[in-house]
Structure 1
Amino acid sequence: MTYRFEFYPYQRQFRHPLTTHHGIWKVREGIILRLSDEKGRVGWGEIAPLPWFGSETFEQALTFCQQFPSQITSTDIFSIPAEFPACQFGFESAWEECRDVAGYVWETEKISPSLLNSSLNYSYLLPTGEAALTSWQQGWQQGDRTFKWKIGVTSMESELRWFDQLVQALPQSAQLRLDANGGLTQNQAQQWLQMADQAGIVEFLEQPLPPEEFAAMRAMYDQYRTAIALDESVATLNQLKTCYQQGWRGIFVIKAAIAGSPKQLRQFCQTHDVDVVFSSVFETAIARQAVLNLATELSHPHRAVGFGVNHWFVE
């Protein structure tokens, strides 16, 4: 099957810059893909790179698209190398939509398309620092009960003080996720885990240490009641497989839009008993829907997906 291929670069400005341990992020850049076949079917995909997580850069993805001819085949799509995981996801997602492969999956798994995504709960991303103490109320009012707060951004003394205030402010039925983006030392991570154990509302501490300190995170997993989730350590499908093979049986936070092939990701999650939380890379509605399709099939039924992020963008 031959497809007509078109692509459209885009930029989306954050309402307020997003500050993490990796730095300050002001503009999300990506590429919208369009495939169409001789039967008039159209499939949309999106390349949303996140290079500080290990994907290709926007410039590399754009060059890759520019090198493709205007007519491509499924062989071209499934031959995209692993060093372009965001491209793999974008092209395969567009191909699946054009071929209605996702619809086939829903039918075979007896998932009604009308119910797609309806059972998913969302984790609301709070701003860093002291602003989280009041901004959680907006998410609560719109029905979110899980909140995510990034730590390891400023002084630990300040963050621990705000954490204590946030725990006191949140309703007892709320859950809080702490995301360090690999920015803590082992001593700091242990201190956060101790505080989280005492607080009683922390669902998990996400990526406390850099990926190269996998052994230390695995050891900490058995020492505290608060769960630990891997994120940067499992940014791509190959990294996910490696961590699983090395014995990680904790939570996997999967940013599917940069993980690589959705087909291979689906196969891995269906073959292995993994505790998965699907998470956003601040993609547009195109990649968002493709990821939520996967989340409906594969994510842990009692964990919120990390897609409460729309409030971060200028309309």
Structure 2
Amino acid sequence: MRASHVTLYRYSIPFTEPVTVKGVRLLQREGIIIGLTSRESSRVAYGEIAPLPGLHRELFQSAEAQLIEVLAKHNFAASGIMQEQLYPSVRTGLEMAMINLETADKGGRSAFSPLSGSAKQVPLNALLFGDTAKIIERAELLFNVGYRTFKLKITAGKTDDALRSLEALHRTFGRQIELRLDANQSLMMDEALDFARSAPAGSIEYIEEPLQDAELIGEFHAKTGLYSALDETLWQKPEMLSHIPVAALKALILKPNRLGGISVALHFARYAQENRLKAVFSSAFESGVSLSFYTMLAASLSTEPAACGLDTFRYLEYDLLESPFGTENGVLDAEALYLGGQKVNEHLLKRTSLWTL
């Protein structure tokens, strides 16, 4: 790595409305931005370290302390510390910054290693929430501007609510949209089967983590014909991937900052490609620094990337970039957004330390 020094910043961005993650109610998104200054060009490449309460085991303070420990080793990129047991959020931010620095020094996309061609655009998956009337209203609005993939949450004990919304969406859009469901490992087998058997035929692309016990996903598919996607299982019990029948799966949901870093996410992306599964990059309410990077990752892996869960920018009151990350038509311009993702508005950050390498 060819960096002369590292600058650390903190940020705190209010959510547009309270967000609840695994029972934890959040009013703002906090994180760390790491800036690497190139020896050759004096360009600054950024990465983001942002553990999310309720999702990550590591706390913000723990991640910050580990990052400082890493930086104290000075030549950390060559010291072997990146092979040590770093927190997922810390490894993600460091890898992101180093890849961005390499790309900046080489003047383009050369640091990204496409698996099989690349795409210029990445479609988005929009999250729908609220009562059925609100869900249909939001879906129609987003459909009219270009969104074609939507996601609906299912909660144990409230599957009737999800079923009503699912039926209304199917009546309104039919097969014009792809609808994904997410149960967040909340359902017992009987409830999942009852829901699946009541759903309109052909209305569901897949269900993310339908069951409390992922080991039963093969049985769920055999009894319903519905496909599943793995999210939490990939970091909770990654060994389960070799036990669940691939034929029962449709996608892997890839949250790099929870999986364990960019390299780990790419490992799962390769597995998805080799097994003809969708690699769906998703965020943990990170800023445009991460979202732009994930967009380019998705674009570099396929000529037709799956619709990604990067629509979370809508839940932050503002972005950290000079040109805020986003789209109005449900499709992301990968190259433009990636370049914009390295133009950070430092006035929105609080500098905490400077390290010479």
TM over 0.5: yes
Name the structure 1 match of 2:326. none
Q: Distance in 1 between matches of 2:252 and 2:113?
A: 27
Name the structure 2 match of 1:167. 170
- Whether 2:268 is the aligned partner of 1:265: answer no
Q: Distance in 2 between matches of 1:291 and 1:217?
A: 28
Name the structure 1 match of 2:355. none
Q: Classify the secondary structure of the residue corresponding to 1:75.
A: coil
Q: Distance in 1 between matches of 2:208 and 2:77?
A: 36
Matches within 5 A, 1:1-315: 1=1, 3=3, 4-19=5-20, 22-39=23-40, 40-50=42-52, 52-67=54-69, 68-69=71-72, 71-76=74-79, 78-79=81-82, 81-100=84-103, 103-106=109-112, 118-130=120-132, 131-152=134-155, 155-196=158-199, 198-210=200-212, 213-235=213-235, 239-240=237-238, 242-249=239-246, 250=249, 251-267=251-267, 269-270=269-270, 273-274=274-275, 275=277, 276-298=279-301, 301=304, 303-315=306-318
1:36-78 deviations in whole A, cap 9, x for unaligned? 1321232110112235344522222122233333944313575
Q: Distance in 2 between matches of 1:248 and 1:60?
A: 37
Give the partner amino acid of 2:259: A
Measured after TM superposition, the shift of residue 152 of structure 1 is: 0.4
Q: Classify the secondary structure of the residue corresponding to 1:306.
A: coil
Q: Distance in 2 between matches of 1:96 and 1:281?
A: 20
Contact 1:77 1:92 in 2 (8 A): no
Contact 1:229 1:253 in 2 (8 A): yes
Identical aligned residues as a percent:
24
Contact 1:20 1:150 in 2 (8 A): no
Deviates more, 1:157-166 or 1:8-17: 157-166
Deviates more, 1:282-291 or 1:62-71: 62-71
The alpha-carbon distance between structure 1 residues 18 and 218, as it changes in their structure 2 partners (threshold 3 A), is farther
Q: Distance in 1 between matches of 2:55 and 2:64?
A: 18
The alpha-carbon distance between structure 1 residues 93 and 179, as it changes in their structure 2 partners (threshold 3 A), is same
TM-score when normalising by structure 1: 0.84
Measured after TM superposition, the shift of residue 194 of structure 1 is: 1.9
Q: Distance in 1 between matches of 2:17 and 2:119?
A: 28
Measured after TM superposition, the shift of residue 186 of structure 1 is: 1.7
Aligned residues: 305
Contact 2:299 2:305 in 1 (8 A): no
TM-score when normalising by structure 2: 0.75
The alpha-carbon distance between structure 1 residues 18 and 248, as it changes in their structure 2 partners (threshold 3 A), is farther
Relative contact order: is structure 1 or structure 2 higher (C-alpha 8 Å, sep ≥ 6)?
2
Measured after TM superposition, the shift of residue 195 of structure 1 is: 3.0
Gaps of 5+ in 2: 319-357
Q: Distance in 2 between matches of 1:69 and 1:181?
A: 38
The alpha-carbon distance between structure 1 residues 78 and 136, as it changes in their structure 2 partners (threshold 3 A), is farther
Contact 2:152 2:162 in 1 (8 A): no
Q: Classify the secondary structure of the residue corresponding to 2:290.
A: helix
Q: Distance in 2 between matches of 1:174 and 1:281?
A: 24
The alpha-carbon distance between structure 1 residues 20 and 57, as it changes in their structure 2 partners (threshold 3 A), is closer
Give the partner amino acid of 2:32: I
Measured after TM superposition, the shift of residue 269 of structure 1 is: 3.3
Q: Distance in 2 between matches of 1:218 and 1:57?
A: 35
Gaps of 5+ in 1: none
Measured after TM superposition, the shift of residue 97 of structure 1 is: 0.9
RMSD (CA atoms): 2.9
